[in-house]
Structures are given as C-alpha cells and as structure tokens.
Structure 1
Amino acid sequence: MHDSQPRTIAPDDLPEVITRYLAAHRAHDTAGALSAFTDDGIVVDDGSTYRGRAAIERWLDRSATEFTYTMRLTNAQQAGPDRYVATHHLEGDFPGGTVDLHYRFTLRDGLVEHLTIEP
C-alpha cells in the first residue's frame, strides 16, 4: 500500500470525534473518551494492545490515574482520508518527565477504529 505524505493541518481541522476524544481524555472523562470509539476499537499504547470497549475503558481508567501530567497539542496532520496524527507534548511525574507523543487515529463511520500512541 502506498501512502502519500501526511500534510499538516490546523488543530481546528481535526475531525470532531478526535477533538472530543482528546478533550475527554485530558479531562479524565472515561465515558466521554470511550464514546469516540467503535465497538471493536483498538488502542495500542506503551507496547500493549487493548481490543474492544471493555479493554479500552480499563486502559482509560488506568491511564487517568497512573501519572499526573499536562498535555498540549503541538501539531496536527492528515495522513489519509480517515487517518490523522495529533502530536502532544506531555510534562509530568512519569519516567523522563517530558515526552512528545503521536496519537495516530484511524476513523471508521465517524468513530475511532484504531489509536496508536507512540513517541
């Protein structure tokens, strides 16, 4: 499969479902964040894969309490018709203290089908 280069977009141009997920995630609103995913959604974070709403809900609950941090959106890209990347700068009490993370979203039917979070 041949992909074109991702193109930088304004953060306001991210699809509503992505901005809704990110706002809910920042606010530790598990139900709000979970509502952005398809029933068979997948999250890949820190080497682990979470499949389906129940697993994603457990991941959201754990990630909301594991560390204290701030996150700031620093870049947004469209990588394909239903693929977007939102880059965040995090600072907090996790190992290393600062990191830039790429939230790679694949959408289906207006919801998040797949989210990979990686440096």
Structure 2
Amino acid sequence: MTIELGPEVQALVDAANRNDLSAFLAGFTEDGVVDDWGREFRGAAQIRAWSDAEFIGKQVSLAVQDVEQRGDETVITAEVGGNGFNGPSHFSFQVRGDRVARMTIRA
C-alpha cells in the first residue's frame, strides 16, 4: 500500500524520522502550534522545548499506517517509536500556505 501525504505534512514526518529539529521547526508557520493531548505549544521556542523533552529529543520515529483527509485536516495514524511514548497515535495537521499551522496529537 502506498501512503501519500501532502508535501507540508511529509516534510514534518520526514524531519521527525531523521530527528532533524531544525527541519521540523522550519515546517511550521511562525505562529504554529503543537497540541499534545490538550497541552499547547505555540511558536518555535515553545515547540522546540516540547520537542527536546518529548519528541525529537526522545529520538522519535513515526511509521505511518494510514492517512485520511477530513476537510482541511490531514489525519495520520502512526506507530510511534523511540525513547519516549511508544505505540499507536493519531496526528492531525492543518496546513496554511506551504507550512503546517497546527499539529494535534491524540491516542
């Protein structure tokens, strides 16, 4: 099965899988938000601090299992690996222009 993501979402997934924090941050709009189970991190400085502690800093890996388009949101189901949370999770992405404006993580 081929799973295709829009280039903006694919760039974030690829950056996460390379553990490339700079590329990950560059994939967000200036006012981008990560919503991790209701905890919101806005802008590069807050997203960096969150990622250092819980995402790329934990050598995250995302094995995309499924992709759905729900209106203006792309929702992926991924098997998360690394040295932090491990297991299935859902990530939804809202894109603005050529970057992600919001990434929401849920079970």
What TM bracket, shorter-length normalisation?
Answer: 0.7 to 0.9
Asked which structure has the greater CA Rg, the reply is 1
Distance in 1, matches of 2:83 and 2:48, equals 23
Give the CA deviation at 1:111: 1.1
Aligned-pair Cα RMSD in Å: 1.9
2:16–2:60 CA contact under 8 A, matched in 1: no
- Structure 1 residue 101 and structure 2 residue 89: aligned? yes
Mapping of 1:1-119 within 5 angstroms? 11-12=3-4, 14-62=5-53, 63-66=55-58, 70-80=61-71, 82-94=72-84, 98-119=86-107
Distance in 1, matches of 2:70 and 2:18, equals 26
Distance in 2, matches of 1:38 and 1:69, equals 21
Q: Which amino acid aligns with 1:106?
A: Q
TM-score (normalizing by structure 1): 0.77
Q: Aligned in 2, Cα 1:58/1:69: closer, same or farther, shift over 3 Å?
A: closer
TM-score (normalizing by structure 2): 0.85
2:29–2:101 CA contact under 8 A, matched in 1: yes
SS at 2:19 equivalent: coil
